Amino acid sequence: MKAALLYNYNEPLRIEQVPDPVITDPSDVIVKVGGAGVCHTDLHLIEGVWAETLGTPLPYIIGHENAGWVHEIGSGVTNFQVGDPVILHPVMSCGKCLSCRSGEDMHCPNLKFCGLTVNGGYAQYLKTSERALIPLPKGVNPADVAPFADAGITAYRAVRKAAPLAKPGTHVVMIGMGGLGHIGVQVMRELGNADIIALDKNKERLNMSLELGAVHAVEANHKAVSQVRSLTAGQGADIIIDFVGNDQTHEESLQMLRKGGTYIVVGYGGTVQLPSLKLINNEFSILGSLVGNYNELYQLMELHARGKVKLHSTKYSLDEANDVLNLLHHGKINGRAVLVP
């Protein structure tokens, strides 16, 4: 099959022919990839940011936002048949540990992460396990929904944490209106009652966020903190969801957060720095949010099926993988890019 492989950090992926994945465990499923979303994490993987944490031997196939059709099933697979359209939760979790039993797939100590620790979806075929599959309604094209598998659930989980706090009269600032943010705004519109303030550098993305449910759009520049303060009667935001997560957004978030406010960090790369006096004096809650669990992906697909969360995406061929990564690196992708092998 054709696949895009990471051979060396900080070098373009190599697109070449490799052997097809094969079933080795009764619960294995081979999926014919219909679409693979292109994510900032893919850029970080290529930069080697994850190298030490993951220790995945090179080369391997990246791509963790996958959807497609069941192509082959192991002898123990009972809920899916060849040809079924599916979206893939990005990890294969064991199903037996306490985390799995409480539904938190991302906390499974035995997990394998497609596209991070094992081969992913920048390829024609991909191996996963039955536990990771969510059936798609008939007629849904996998390439149209693939980014929900990571960008989607990551935004969904962060908003689900914030939703009980997003009461009428509260304000939630959402930073970064890209692949995750544009989904996050729609989910907040559906699950919460807060007034959404969208923050981004890009005017086109800010306009899109207003169409999707944001009440205010604030350009991310040196005036952003004071603008958020004036939109919230000088009090600051009750909730901030940071989809960017660099030193600047961390610092500014803590300046625009209301007393008793909650700061949810989704994007990563920076360092959150806060004197403990300021933390206790303001009673801030600072939460991390990592991807999402199986149930959250299921719930998001239900929202999507009801027409309540739409995905803005552009399709490219697998051969264009390096060009697309380059566009993403330069902030030139609106919504999400999807590779169709």
Give the residues lining the site for Zn ion (CB under 5 A): 39, 41, 93-94, 97, 100, 108, 150
Q: How far is the CB of 334 from Zn ion (least distance, A)?
A: 17
Q: How far is the CB of 151 from Zn ion (least distance, A)?
A: 6
Residue 3 structure tokens:
């696949």
- For Zn ion, the closer CB: 100 or 217: 100
Q: Is 21 exposed, middle or buried (0-12, 13-18, 19+ CB in 10 A)?
A: buried
3-state SS assignment for residue 67: strand
Q: How far is the CB of 219 from Zn ion (least distance, A)?
A: 26
User: What would the DSSP string read from start to end of 196-257?
Assistant: EEEEES-HHHHHHHHHHT-SEEEE-STTHHHHHHHHTTTS-EEEEEESS-SHHHHHHHHHHE
- For Zn ion, the closer CB: 218 or 318: 318
How many whole angstroms separate alpha carbon 311 and alpha carbon 64? 17
- For Zn ion, the closer CB: 150 or 195: 150
- For Zn ion, the closer CB: 134 or 224: 134
- For Zn ion, the closer CB: 41 or 289: 41
- For Zn ion, the closer CB: 46 or 108: 108
Quick one: how far is CA 204 from the chain centroid?
21
Q: How far is the CB of 23 from Zn ion (least distance, A)?
A: 21
Q: How far is the CB of 37 from Zn ion (least distance, A)?
A: 7
Q: Which residues of 117-155 are buried (b: 16+ CB within 10 A; e: fewer)?
A: bbbbbbbbbbbbbbbbbbebeeebebbbbbbbbbbbbbb
Residue 72 structure tokens:
């082959």
How many whole angstroms separate alpha carbon 187 and alpha carbon 175? 15
How many whole angstroms separate alpha carbon 130 and alpha carbon 80? 8
How many whole angstroms separate alpha carbon 172 and alpha carbon 262? 9
- For Zn ion, the closer CB: 62 or 194: 62
Q: How far is the CB of 95 from Zn ion (least distance, A)?
A: 6
Q: How far is the CB of 294 from Zn ion (least distance, A)?
A: 11
